[in-house]
Structure 1
Amino acid sequence: MFSKTCEYAIRALIFIAQKSKDGSRVGIKDISSGIDSPEYFIAKILQDLSRKGFVQSAKGPNGGFFMEGKDLEQSVADIVKEIDGNKLFSGCGLGLKECSENHPCPIHNDFKHIRQQIKDMLENSKIEMFVKNLDLRLTFLKQ
């Protein structure tokens, strides 16, 4: 459903939020290990997300990535839109370019309801919620 870049971005932001809630900062090696991603790939993703304000970063010996209050209020939908664009929320279920209400593909009418449910779920899924569920051991990021 998501690109690999988007999957890593979501997992990394949740991991950083959980590990930095006490004010600490998390390094690339820890993030990579914690979410089971290639180090160079996650570094590139986080550099981009930092520039766009999804995560904070600090350089130096005590540097690393961290998230603050406003960062925790971001939804998964915000991340998906930034990384993968709006296709998940508006694209054709069969990948057709011309699919619309006036010119529907064979699954258009059923898929638009599913697409809306996915959008609603991701908009209501905030980073802070995932951190709480991880702390309660209701969910996990890596086996």
Structure 2
Amino acid sequence: MAIFSKTCEYALRAVFYVAQRSHEGYKVGIKEIAEQINSPEPFLAKILQRLRKEGLIQSVKGPSGGFYFDAASLNRPLADIVTAVDGDAIFTGCGLGLTDCSESNPCPLHEDFKKVRNQITSMLNHTPIGKFNLGLIKGKFSLNK
């Protein structure tokens, strides 16, 4: 079970891969990223272009170009990626998907789901994009199914 949309999953996996390669001093192309995270290349291209337009990832065209992160971008929170791709529903939405769920009109899951949602929000807001670089480089983590 995933908590993110498929688009957001690909975005996060791509961001982690590009962050790792940037940490190692490289820029990476769409084809390499897609192969390494097991993503359809055209779909991934659209995702990365959206992140670039939002200023969350950098890119350079040309033979030595590709996607990369600068030092400042590696310190941005994962919440920025999630919001750019999926909006803020994960931070504010109802566990049952109701549009009118609130403190004054709660769904049956409201109180328990609010706790989980707040934990996810905190994790995404306090985890920088570059946090997992060394773990990825050392093979401690996987980005491919």
The answer to which of 124-133 and 49-58 deviates more is: 124-133
The corresponding residue for 1:38 is 40
Alignment of 1:115-126 (within 5 A): 115-126=117-128
Calculate the TM-score normalised by the size of structure 1: 0.94
The corresponding residue for 1:22 is 24
Of 40, 51, 54 in structure 2, the residue corresponding to residue 49 of structure 1 is: 51
Question: Structure 1 residue 132: deviation in Å?
Answer: 2.1
Whole-Å separation in 1 of the counterparts to 2:112 and 2:61: 49
Whole-Å separation in 1 of the counterparts to 2:57 and 2:66: 10
Whole-Å separation in 1 of the counterparts to 2:64 and 2:51: 20
How many residues matched?
143
Whole-Å separation in 1 of the counterparts to 2:132 and 2:120: 17
Instruction: Name stretches of at least 5 consecutive residues in structure 2 with no aligned partner.
Output: none
Residue identity opposite 2:14 in structure 1 = A
Q: Which digits, 9 at most, give the CA deviation of each residue in 1:89-128, with x for residues without a partner?
A: 1111111111000011111111111110111111122111
The corresponding residue for 2:71 is 69
Question: Structure 1 residue 20: deviation in Å?
Answer: 2.1
Question: Structure 1 residue 76: deviation in Å?
Answer: 1.5
> After TM superposition, which residue ranges in structure 1, 4 or more long, deviate above 3 angstroms?
none
The corresponding residue for 1:137 is 139
Question: Structure 1 residue 138: deviation in Å?
Answer: 2.3
The answer to which of 25-34 and 129-138 deviates more is: 129-138
What is the DSSP-based 3-state SS (H/G/I as helix, E as strand, rest coil) of the residue aligned with 2:23?
coil
1:78 aligns with 2:74: no
Report the identity percentage: 50
Instruction: Name stretches of at least 5 consecutive residues in structure 1 with no aligned partner.
Output: none
Whole-Å separation in 2 of the counterparts to 1:14 and 1:109: 32
Calculate the TM-score normalised by the size of structure 2: 0.93
Whole-Å separation in 2 of the counterparts to 1:142 and 1:2: 16
Whole-Å separation in 1 of the counterparts to 2:47 and 2:13: 11
What is the DSSP-based 3-state SS (H/G/I as helix, E as strand, rest coil) of the residue aligned with 1:5?
helix
